[in-house]
Structure 1
Amino acid sequence: MRAGCSVARVSYVRWSIAAQFLRLPAMMAPLAFALLATEVTGSYRLGGLMMAVFIGAEIVAAGPVGRALDRFGVARGLRVLLLVSALFLCGLALVASSPVLTVVFVVLTGFAAGGLSGGIRALLPKSVSAGFLERAVAIDAVVIEIVVVTGPLIVALLTPLGVVAPVLGMAGAYVLAVLFVPTVAVAPRTRGERPKLGSIMTWLLSSFGFGVLISTIEVSSLPFAQRLGGGAEFAVVFMAVLIAASMAGAGLYAWLGPRLQIDRRIRAALFLVVMAVGGVLAAFGVSWPLLIAGLVTVGICTGPLNTTISMHLQLTLPESRKAEGFSLVFTAQAGGFALGSLCVALLPVSVAPVVGSAVALIAAFSVISAHRGAPYRRVTSAVANQEA
């Protein structure tokens, strides 16, 4: 038994290393693209365009790429896509002097990377024991926050080596991820059925609502600071508070989550409602204590909500549609982030988070009122739906 636990722990560590290397380029991209654009054109605006088309390409490609991974093998397909993404980034570094070609290679990279997050998530159940799965998802939510902070720091460390060094660093991260993608057994291929639309749409809306709300809070960090008479340094403090609260919430849920008997629909709705309350507190936080309380309220529910959504889909998505389903969830979240950022750009600082809170409440109502489909299935094997 102890040997089995040790093997499972090593397998999870390997999966986690692959997942973090896979995610790292996305965290490096905003600053890396901005620096590259400034060097090429003298303005950061091209960097904003590069980031927009990168995310747009990921959103467009996520569903089809996830479907292809499910069909041809998730682990094998991930290795190919990671290498292709790395090659496109190397191409981007080579054509960095041409703004047009730069955008072209960014789009190609986005298409190749669109299904990576969903694919790596689909491999998690094959890398851990069944009883550890929910805790593993929650722990991963903590580690993600570390990657979020690490990405820009790596860009800053690589920049003195040359303006294309961060882009090559992103390519290197993809290559390193290839080395750690778990090797799983090949299972006979079966024709998968698409899940009922309603069974997915409510959870896509939940992920979208989360994205809108959290982005209106994150992107508003500088306006929040300025409203209280501070500057960029206070915005950094606000982000640190949000990240610390998120890590604490995810860590606590990793311990308590598997023991809870509450229906996951109720959990998700509760987390969304609490986050909405936090968004309103932050929106009208005209004092430090009120604003910090809002940030902590939002942050502490971030990890538990994502874990709850992830586990519900894990237990209800058809086995041959896992990568596609998770890719769609990450796409919905990215779309929410984009809309939230747009709200901050167009609306007053006190209104944007309220819009985010309203979307979160709509998502919570949708989850509660959704017609109850098939009952939850208990996963009895960590390798219940293996495929290469």
Structure 2
Amino acid sequence: MLSTYREVLRLPGALAFSSSGLLARLPMAMVGLGILFFTSGVTGSYGLGGLMSAAFSLSAAAGMIISSRLVDRLGQHKVLGWLIAAESLGLGLFVISMELSWPMGISAVIVVGAGACSPAIGPAVRARWTFVIARVDSASSPKLRTAFALESIFEELIFTIGPLITAWLAISLALPAPILLAIVIGVAGTLVLIRQRSTEPTPAPLHQSKVPHVAAFRHSGVLLTIMSAIATGAIFGSYEVSIVAFAT
């Protein structure tokens, strides 16, 4: 098994974009929990902390649908850099707004805006795997399944390490520390990723087609998958808030 993972990582540029993508995705497992710790610590309300965290996560999920299409049309290097800059600016402004006791409605708008600008790093990395493997083999190569399995392992690792770092920083250093560290890590990882132009997929500009196009959301299988993911996310999200409230 390990030999198959080593084989795909030896592909030209694979180790570089996979490792930088791993770094760029780490904030994904830190920011939501960091917002929860920070908001509840400043306001004393776990309900408000959960609300702010959920607002960020939901806006991120919605924003990634639009931004991912822009990435496909314009290219990763033209979109991801602007997104991470906007998200980082929004998160920094959110921290300032809470520290200065701005109206909670303003802080909520800021955190929603920051979430909407979250770059979809996972899909970008998987698109690079598809591009690189198709270039040396074929788009249906077994290597692609191996690469996607490797990325799934990396994401499990991210969601194991990220919350541990977040909790330790918030408790041992300062409440906003996890958010600030996530900003630094996200910017560094994303900038390193988008500088690797040789493995970036070719953009697919929008073109007119005479073939009728059916939206993905109209497929029953896609809708069922989305609803299942939402239900699973709601369960894990409620665990996050309740466990933090119970432990602290």
> Into which bin does the TM-score normalised by the smaller protein fall?
0.7 to 0.9
Task: Give the length in aligned residue pairs.
Answer: 219
Q: 2:32 matched to 1:14?
A: no
AA aligned opposite 1:110: G
Q: 1:198 to 1:89 in 2, by over 3 A?
A: closer
SS of the residue corresponding to residue 33 of structure 1 reads: helix
Distance 2:38 2:221 in 1: 37
Runs of 4+ in structure 1 deviating by more than 6 angstroms, as ranges, are: 219-222
**Structure 2: how far apart are the matches of 1:120 and 1:106?**
25
Could you say if the C-alpha distance between residues 199 and 8 of structure 1 is closer, same or farther in structure 2, counting changes exceeding 3 Å? Answer: farther
CA distance in 2, matches of 1:61, 1:74: 16
Q: Which amino acid aligns with 2:114?
A: T
Shift of 1:39: 2.2
Cα offset, 1:157, TM superposition: 2.8
Q: Map of 1:46-195 to 2, 5 A cutoff?
A: 46-97=48-99, 98=102, 99-113=104-118, 115-128=120-133, 129=136, 130=138, 131=141, 132-159=143-170, 160-178=172-190, 179-181=192-194, 182-184=196-198, 187=202, 190-192=205-207, 195=213
- State the shift of 1:180 in Å: 2.7
Q: Which amino acid aligns with 2:187?
A: V
Once the two structures are TM-superposed, the CA of residue 92 in structure 1 deviates from its matched residue by: 2.1
1:56-111 alpha-carbon deviations (Å, 9 max, x no partner): 21233233222222222123311221222222222222222233343222111111
Residues 222-237 of structure 1: pairs in structure 2 closer than 5 A: none
C-alpha displacement at 1:31, in angstroms? Answer: 2.3
User: Does the aligned pair in 1 maintain the 2:74–2:205 contact within 8 Å?
Assistant: no
Give the % identical residues: 23
C-alpha distance 156-127 of structure 1, shift in aligned 2 (>3 A): farther
How much has 1:114 moved relative to structure 2? Answer: 5.7
Q: Please give the alpha-carbon distance, in whole angstroms, between the structure 2 residues aligned to 1:216 and 1:103.
A: 20
Alpha carbons 1:60, 1:114 under 8 Å: kept: no
Q: How do residues 1-388 of structure 1 correspond to structure 2 at under 5 angstroms?
A: 8-9=10-11, 11-97=13-99, 98=102, 99-113=104-118, 115-128=120-133, 129=136, 130=138, 131=141, 132-159=143-170, 160-178=172-190, 179-181=192-194, 182-184=196-198, 187=202, 190-192=205-207, 195-197=213-215, 201-212=219-230, 214-215=232-233, 218=236
Q: State the Cα distance separating 1:200 from its structure 2 match.
A: 7.0
Conservation of the 8 A alpha-carbon contact between 1:61 and 1:111 = yes
What TM-score, normalized by structure 2, do the two folds share? 0.73
* Structure 1: 5+ residue stretches without partners: 223-231, 233-388
Deviations 1:154-189 (A, max 9, x none): 112322221111110110121122213332468586
Q: Distance between the aligned counterparts of 1:83 and 1:216, measured in 2?
A: 28
d(CA) in 2 for partners of 1:135, 1:88: 36
AA in 1 matched with 2:152: A
The Cα of 1:48 is off from its aligned counterpart by: 0.8
Partners of 2:174 and 2:206 in 1: CA distance: 49
* Higher RCO structure (Cα 8 Å, ≥6 apart): 2
Contact 2:18 / 2:125 at 8 angstroms: preserved in 1?
A: no
Distance in 2 (alpha carbons) for counterparts of 1:61 and 1:23? 16
**TM-score under structure 1 length normalisation:** 0.49
Q: Distance in 1 between matches of 2:230 and 2:201?
A: 38
Aligned-pair Cα RMSD in Å:
3.2
Shift of 1:18: 3.0
